[in-house]
A = this chain, B = another copy of it.
């Protein structure tokens, strides 16, 4: 396969281009008998969709999803669930001029050399538009994990450019366009983004995702470690350049006596491990940080080359997110959900269902 399928047992096979007929996916391996409606999926898609604030792309896409298969009388049947989102706001003419040149920081150059052909309309397959289908598939995974094990997966923006965003409360995340867990800081973020846009520049961000109430025992220990699968999933999100679990890069300068989480009869005493030891979930919160690079599409003139290797100057106009990190939170949540459900099913295969009396050690942040 050519890298468009995610997962081993709960698989998502994705298709579609930014300005083609539409995007979609086939979700295979979903356990049968779960209630599932279009609304369950649409609700998550609405969190990611464009045009919801002035800080994101103004492309008008309602991202209305159709379930093509796999549901009978409101329940999953165990057969493939196909999702289709028709593209509405294609503007192929916006992109005609870039066919002959490679936008810096984009996949244009690499697609061209790999395939000898590329769909230049809005980045074609390389557009972050594809991430909508992950959010759709992730909604199914999230629902099953919540109903079956009580797992809760949530994310937030923990840094925007140079501004660290202190965590205050989960309740504040949904009240702003940034997924910031801290309402007080939102005006500062808005001013910052307004300035970035005025400079015709873009900026990076850090997203933090947390899974709570995960049973002990998910993850394969040697090559499909839960943390490795999470790193893979997150780095598969467009623009992500780094992933860390728990203490992450801080571990480098830590001593073992500090990093290594002690166990007590009532739980772990800390969570530097980020909820994973030896590649397997510990029952603590799984905590993941991802670094999202600044959007490559900026309206400043930049040096590049055309297909023949001639130098060109190009500014990328059009409708772009000045910080792709802003809409990344629901995507990161979806990816984490997709990894966890896959490993929940893998666990059932080899070891039987998760024991209900397995300790789930209370969430403790580092």
Q: Tell whether A50 is near chain B: CB-to-CB under 8 Å.
A: no
Say whether, besides A9-B349, A33-B116, A261-B104, A111 and B221 are in contact (CB < 8 Å): yes
**Known contacts A16-B80, A72-B124, A251-B293, then 9 further A-B pairs from the complex at CB < 8 Å, ordered by chain A residue:** A9-B346, A9-B350, A15-B69, A21-B67, A23-B69, A30-B350, A204-B252, A223-B236, A256-B298
Which residues of chain B are near A329, meaning CB under 8 Å?
A: none
Which of under 10, 10 to 19, 20 to 34, or 35 or more describes the interface residues of A?
35 or more
Partner of A260, one of B29, B72, B104, B347: B104
| Copies assembled | 4
- Fill in one digit per residue for A13-38: 1 if any B CB lies within 8 Å of its CB, else 0: 11111001111111011111100000
Q: Tell whether A66 is near chain B: CB-to-CB under 8 Å.
A: yes
Q: Tell whether A62 is near chain B: CB-to-CB under 8 Å.
A: no
A174 CB → nearest B CB, Å: 23
- The stretch of A39-47, A181-189, A239-247 in contact with B is A239-247
Q: How far is the CA of A217 from the CA of B251 in the complex (A)?
A: 34
- Fill in one digit per residue for A219-236: 1 if any B CB lies within 8 Å of its CB, else 0: 111111101111111111
Q: How far is the CA of A125 from the CA of B6 in the complex (A)?
A: 22
Q: How far is the CA of A310 from the CA of B266 in the complex (A)?
A: 10
- Fill in one digit per residue for A332-366: 1 if any B CB lies within 8 Å of its CB, else 0: 00000000000001111111110000110000000
